[in-house]
Amino acid sequence: MSDDLARREAEELARRSAELVAEVIARPEAGDEERLVEAALRPKRLEEFIGQERVREQLSLVLESARRRGRPPDHVLLSGAPGLGKTSLAMIIAAELGTGIRITSGPALERAGDLAALVSSLSEGEVLFIDEIHRIARPAEELLYVAMEDFRVDVVVGKGAGATAIPLEVAPFTLVGATTRSGLLTGPLRDRFGFTAHMEPYTPAELERVIARSAGLLEVPIDAAGAAEIAGRSRGTPRIANRLLRRVRDFAEVRADGAVTRGVAREALAVYDVDELGLDRLDRAVLEALVHRFGGGPVGLSTLAVAVSEEAETVEEVCEPFLVRTGLVVRTPRGRVATPAAWRHLGLRPPGPVDVLPLDLGDAG
């Protein structure tokens, strides 16, 4: 096979794959009204983004410098818990640069060809956003190294001894990666990002501002006390705050006069099993199992998950981070332990002093 013919085949393969990937990415989910509402509530510019002041300041410098140089900014890595605004910031980066954005996720990039097709179809200066980038498959990750550094991908045409690697030039682009588990990123991938930012949980005051802004966009009458009540139960997360606001709105429209006050918010959140700390049904089930069934622990993660009829991964990734952050649960070398605060939150008297050894050395099964 001649080099010209191989190159044409490689380019055609990349083009067809890119069209397929783009179609999958853009395909709307049937009945996904909640996602459409969330998208409408996202801030569109950096000045509209509430909270994360340090990250916003640093990012504004990176973007302004790139605009003055007339070149795409360095690749950006955003880390932090789910719901803190990583996707919103990726979209804002594209908006501030006046360019388009392609959105995909790490698990969707199973083969190197998937990534090659995607990056080879990017226009100059375009933003590529990869959510959960720590879950990208190793073959795709290795190809991503070259794409990020040299703006080039190698497409393999043929099989076996007759296979030929055809280098394809990639237009300069900016990769924005988002991760909830930055520790799982490989060193080579992390080192290729020119700017990294860690996003912290929001304060109640910041969440009140988020709720007030969202209520205005949704045309929901809300007073300061109602916003404060929702903010206090939002676990430091804007996504949760917006979700609770919509549920409180539903309650207010059906069982009240449509306005959200502190009393209405409390009644609504009680109906939806969200307590004053922001714990939901599963969080309380974990605490109650830990206290009632295991005497406060220590108990292994897998045993605790079985007790609440959930997967261990769900307990570890969905419930545990917030329970640990609020001081209700401690991870120890022997397993999970309920703190005195957890006993008091359940209306129980704490036992005597507990040796919790708060060292995160793994789980005792």
- Whether 213 is a known active-site residue: answer no
State how far the Cα of 157 lies from the Cα of 137, in Å rounded to an integer.
20
Going from the C-alpha of 353 to that of each of 328, 350, 356, 361, the distances in angstroms are: 15, 9, 9, 22
Amino acid letter, 224: A
State how far the Cα of 213 lies from the Cα of 50, in Å rounded to an integer.
9
Query: Exactly one of 180, 261, 303, 332 is catalytic; which is it?
Result: 180
- Do the beta carbons of residue 262 and residue 256 sit within 8 Å? no
Look-up of token digits 């083009």: 15
- Whether 239 is a known active-site residue: answer yes
- Whether 235 is a known active-site residue: answer no
Query: Exactly one of 102, 192, 235, 239 is catalytic; which is it?
Result: 239
Query: Exactly one of 87, 104, 326, 332 is catalytic; which is it?
Result: 87
DSSP 107: G
- Whether 180 is a known active-site residue: answer yes
Q: Tell the burial category of 146 from Cβ atoms under 10 Å away from its Cβ (0-12, 13-18, 19+).
A: middle
Between helix 3-26 and helix 112-120 the angle, nearest 10°, is 90
DSSP line for 117-160: HHHHTPPTT-EEEEETGGG--HHHHHHHHHHHHHSEEEEEESSG
Going from the C-alpha of 100 to that of each of 62, 93, 139, 168, the distances in angstroms are: 18, 10, 26, 21
Query: Exactly one of 86, 102, 249, 331 is catalytic; which is it?
Result: 86
Query: Exactly one of 102, 104, 114, 131 is catalytic; which is it?
Result: 131
State how far the Cα of 327 lies from the Cα of 258, in Å rounded to an integer.
36
Q: How many CA atoms does the CB half-sphere of 143 hold within 13 Å? A: 26
- Whether 186 is a known active-site residue: answer no
DSSP 199: P
State how far the Cα of 49 lies from the Cα of 53, in Å rounded to an integer.
9
Stated as kind and residue range, the H or E segment containing 338 is strand 335-338
Token pair recorded at residue 349: 């008297």
| Active site members | 86-87, 131, 180, 239
